[in-house]
């Protein structure tokens, strides 16, 4: 996001997991982790939990597509690239 040339994102939102985790262990042996970073866009937006949205929403990895050996996200990306190349 914000790069030049701009990237066209095709598919679904990313998983919304960006931060490294600060891992610790308590004296009783319990372990825990806390996210300890916040990645922001130039205008201050963050996408933890919600994920980065695509420019073109395409449902991916659906059972019907997988069973048919298809990748709807890749097919859409190839369609876009073909149109740009003309």
- What is the full per-residue pLDDT of the chain (86 aa) written as tens digits? 778 888 899 999 999 988 888 999 999 999 999 988 888 998 999 998 899 999 999 998 889 988 999 999 999 999 999 998 87
Q: What is the pTM of this model?
A: 0.71
Instruction: Give the pLDDT of residue 71.
Output: 93
Instruction: Give the pLDDT of residue 20.
Output: 86
Q: What is the sign of the dihedral through the CA atoms of 76, 63, 52 and 24?
A: negative
Instruction: Give the pLDDT of residue 2.
Output: 79
C-alpha to C-alpha distance for 16 and 19, rounded to whole angstroms: 9
Q: Which two tokens stand for residue 13?
A: 């939102």
Domains and CATH numbers, the chain: 10-85 (3.90.226.10)
């Amino acid at each position: 996001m914000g790069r030049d040339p701009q990237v066209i994102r095709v598919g679904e939102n990313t998983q919304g997991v960006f931060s490294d985790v600060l891992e610790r262990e308590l004296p009783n042996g319990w372990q825990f982790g806390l996210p300890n970073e916040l990645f922001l866009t130039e205008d201050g937006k963050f996408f933890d939990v919600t994920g980065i949205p695509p420019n073109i929403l395409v449902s991916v990895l659906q059972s019907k597509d997988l069973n048919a050996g298809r990748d709807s996200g890749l097919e859409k990306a190839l369609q876009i690239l073909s149109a740009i190349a003309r």
